A and B are shown apart, each in its own frame.
Chain A
Amino acid sequence: MHPQLCAARFDKDLAGITPELCELRGWTVFCKEYPLFDVGFTSPKGAQLRLQVKADDWDATPASFTLLKWDGTFMTAAPASKKNIFNSSNHRYTGRIFICIRGTREYHTHESHVGEKWELLRGKPEYRLGELVTQIWNGWRKANP
């Protein structure tokens, strides 16, 4: 897709990531400029996770999600989650641990899920960028109070 159209969809999807929402959820935005959305989660007891979303060619192609430590370096061990959303094996394309839920690029390119087409999810409310990040935050925070 044309980069300007991708950037417009990216901005529209993330328009709801406001200071009010971040204060409510304990989110810290490090970058929100197409094609990168870099956000950190802090739990009420101080657990932290940082997520870098690369949404180039959004939303013709699913966004890539990378798990980071707070200092921006790659995580090497999967954090705890209630629904096993973090896969501790190395993804065949990134070579790193990854988030394995529908809607992430790593899910749809994983050998177990290549038959599940992104086109069937694209544009649905749960699979917009803000809602995908919310899903991951919800999966993480229950195991990291």
Chain B
Amino acid sequence: MEAHVAKSPKEEVKTINVRVVTTSGTYPENGHEKVPLTEPIQGILSRAAADLGVVDTSRWVVTVKGSATPISPTTTYEQAGLHGEVKLDWGPESAAGG
């Protein structure tokens, strides 16, 4: 006999509060966006780029406070070890010196 264990929606979807900070502005403009922990970081970066009017972010890197190590946008918040409330610092990587 199969056992069915009902899960409430609150148990199924774990979320994180995210804010993207750039020198072109912040997304969302106020507060945070609540997104699933299992969503790739790229999702909110795409929404931020569209909202802030940044057309080319191919050389942009995302970090969090206190770390210079970029986080891959294809990872999820869970995979990146992020939880609770986080500000993503997003901006262009340095070009190579001439």
Question: Would you list 13 pairs from A and B whose C-beta atoms are within 8 A, ordered by A residue?
Answer: A16-B24, A21-B26, A21-B89, A84-B96, A84-B97, A101-B96, A101-B98, A125-B92, A128-B23, A135-B95, A136-B94, A138-B91, A138-B94
* Chain B 42-75 residues near chain A, CB threshold 8 A: 54-57, 59, 61, 65-66, 68
- A sample of 16 more A-B contacts (CB under 8 A), given A87-B97, A113-B98, A124-B56, is A14-B23, A24-B87, A83-B96, A86-B97, A101-B95, A101-B96, A102-B98, A110-B98, A125-B24, A125-B57, A128-B23, A131-B23, A133-B23, A135-B94, A139-B95, A142-B68
Given A83-B95, A100-B98, A138-B94, decide whether A24 and B68 contact each other with a Cβ distance below 8 A: no
Give the Cβ gap from A56 to chain B, nearest Cβ, in Å.
Answer: 20
Taking Cβ atoms with an 8 Å cutoff, the residues of B that contact A are 21-26, 54-57, 59, 61, 65-66, 68, 87, 89, 91-98
Residue A11 lies at the interface, judged by CB distance under 8 Å to chain B: no
The residue of chain A having its C-beta at the shortest distance from the C-beta of B54 within the complex is A125
Given A15-B25, A125-B24, A126-B56, decide whether A134 and B92 contact each other with a Cβ distance below 8 A: yes
Residue A81 lies at the interface, judged by CB distance under 8 Å to chain B: yes
* Chain A 113-145 residues near chain B, CB threshold 8 A: 113, 124-126, 128, 130-131, 133-136, 138-139, 141-142, 145
The residue of chain A having its C-beta at the shortest distance from the C-beta of B55 within the complex is A125
Most buried by B among A20, A126, A145: A126
Residue A94 lies at the interface, judged by CB distance under 8 Å to chain B: no
B89–A135 touching, CB < 8 Å: no
Kindly state the separation between the CA atoms of A142 and B21 in the bound complex, as whole angstroms: 19
B24–A138 touching, CB < 8 Å: no
